[in-house]
Amino acid sequence: MRDLGALGTRWLGVGLAAIIAVVTVSLALTGDLDLYINPDSSWFAVSMAVLLLAGAAASFALPLGAEAEHGHDHGPPPSEPAPGPRRRDPEPVPDASAAPEASGVSTLQEADARPTSRAQARAAREAAAIPQPPREHVTPDEPHSSEADPHDARPPAHPHHAHPLALAASITGGAIASGVVLLTLVLPATSLSAEMALARDVGVTPLFAGQDAVTLAASGDTSTFGIGEWATVFATSTSPETFDGQEVTLTGFVAPTDDGFGLTRLVITHCVIDAQPASVPIASGQAAPEAGQWVEVSGTVRAASDGTLTVDAAEVTAIDEPEDPYEY
């Protein structure tokens, strides 16, 4: 049972991590890793995956159960006292022939302590004959009885039994984690759907570029602009008339609105977890395509009297989802 638990611990740690590393490397080799992370971070992800695989291979040199070792020693257990009564030394008997000065009693005090009658002398002899309690003697190889070593005060060892609920939770969590990771081996690489992108839209335009993008757009150099950059320009420009009349060609999927549709694209900063939708409003004289349909729009940027910017579409062409559906 102990070996089974150690095997499960290693599977949930090294095993699942190694599978994720294998999937990462395979996605990089097939060119699909860009569907999940920013291409600028691919080298880091692949490097860490290779390093993890090397560590997983090295883990086979460790015996099962080595993960549970503390890495330090608590010292030897306290020695038990020998059975049987302990040796006791009798109380030393003072030498009656010792000089009064040697015993620390002056001659005058000794004279005062002498019995003055036979009865007192007999009582003194009887008192001297009463045995004194022997003093306990501890041999060097026996532990001290008065004070115990605080380092030796440890609770007795006992087998550890996990609570049934905790054990059930661990097994359930491990099974779910294993299932999710194993699915990455069999499911094909895919991008986030348009429906998920629309669900992430909170109605506020995220700023995917800084003021430099607005300045660059005002200069007329917008050849590299995607939907993310144009969405920033449309949302932050203080001189919308500057952009009136600029020709644009953009690719995205359709998000229907009341007066046309929004051309939308997911923008990734680091990975798909932080992907956010960017959108620019499209004014078209024809019916809006179906929601989620990928289209290519060619048109002209127009500034309305209230300062809002839109793209007046001259041509809207339905296309298939591009190989790289994100912007970065």
Structure confidence at residue 104 (pLDDT): 45
* CA contacts within 13 A on the Cβ side of 81: 13
* CA contacts within 13 A on the Cβ side of 20: 17
Whether residues 181 and 235 fall in one domain: no
Dist CA 31 CA 49 (whole Å): 16
Burial (Cβ within 10 Å: 0-12, 13-18, ≥19) of residue 27: buried
Structure confidence at residue 12 (pLDDT): 81
Q: How many domains in the chain?
A: 2
- Among the candidates 139, 160, 186, a domain finishes at 186
Whether residues 181 and 238 fall in one domain: no
Dist CA 230 CA 302 (whole Å): 13
- The alpha carbon torsion through 190, 192, 195, 200 (nearest 10 deg) reads 170
List the structure tokens of 261.
């549709």
**Residue 152 domain-assigned (yes or no):** no
- Taking alpha carbons only, the member of 315, 318, 290, 285 closest to residue 300 is 315
| Residue 319 scores a pLDDT above 80 | yes
Whether residues 227 and 311 fall in one domain: yes
Whether residues 224 and 262 fall in one domain: yes
Give the least confident one: 38-47, 77-86, 147-156: 147-156
Whether residues 10 and 62 fall in one domain: yes
**Residue 86 domain-assigned (yes or no):** no
Residues 6+ apart with CB under 8 A from 107: 100
**DSSP secondary structure letters along 186-243:** HSPP-PPPHHHHHHH--SS----S-HHHHHHHHTT--TT--HHHHHHHHHH-S-GGGG
pLDDT average, residue stretch 291-303:
93
**Residue 276 domain-assigned (yes or no):** yes
DSSP 8-state secondary structure symbol assigned to residue 37: B
**In this predicted model, which residue has the larger pLDDT, 57 or 88?**
57
pLDDT in tens, 174-197: 788 888 888 888 888 888 877 777
**DSSP secondary structure letters along 72-126:** S---PPPPPPPSSPPPEEPPPPPPTTS-TTTTT--HHHHHHHS-SSHHHHHHHHH
Give the least confident one: 123-127, 253-257, 285-289: 123-127
Whether residues 221 and 283 fall in one domain: yes
| Residue 61 scores a pLDDT above 90 | no
| Residue 71 scores a pLDDT above 70 | no
Give the least confident one: 171-180, 194-203, 274-283, 310-319: 194-203
Whether residues 181 and 254 fall in one domain: no
pLDDT in tens, 99-113: 444 444 444 444 444
Whether residues 179 and 215 fall in one domain: no
Whether residues 221 and 314 fall in one domain: yes
Whether residues 181 and 34 fall in one domain: yes
**Residue 131 domain-assigned (yes or no):** no
- Among the candidates 137, 153, 186, a domain finishes at 186
Structure confidence at residue 165 (pLDDT): 83
Give the least confident one: 22-31, 45-54, 102-111, 133-142: 102-111
Whether residues 182 and 205 fall in one domain: no
- Among the candidates 160, 186, 212, a domain finishes at 186
Structure confidence at residue 206 (pLDDT): 60
Structure confidence at residue 89 (pLDDT): 54
**In this predicted model, which residue has the larger pLDDT, 108 or 309?**
309
| Residue 217 scores a pLDDT above 60 | yes
- Taking alpha carbons only, the member of 41, 23, 25, 139 closest to residue 82 is 139
Q: pTM score > 0.95 for this model? A: no
**Residue 74 domain-assigned (yes or no):** no
Indicate which CATH number applies to the domain containing 226.
2.40.50
- Counting residues of the chain whose pLDDT is more than 90, the rounded percentage is 20
Residues 6+ apart with CB under 8 A from 2: 65
Contact 7, 64 (CB under 8 A): yes
Rounded to the nearest 5 degrees, what angle is found at the Cα of 163, between the Cα atoms of 159 and 164? 125
Q: Domain of 293?
A: 198-327
Contact 263, 295 (CB under 8 A): yes
Whether residues 179 and 204 fall in one domain: no
Question: To the nearest 5 percent, what fractions of the chain are helix, strand and coil?
Answer: 40, 15, 40
Contact 290, 254 (CB under 8 A): yes
Structure confidence at residue 99 (pLDDT): 46
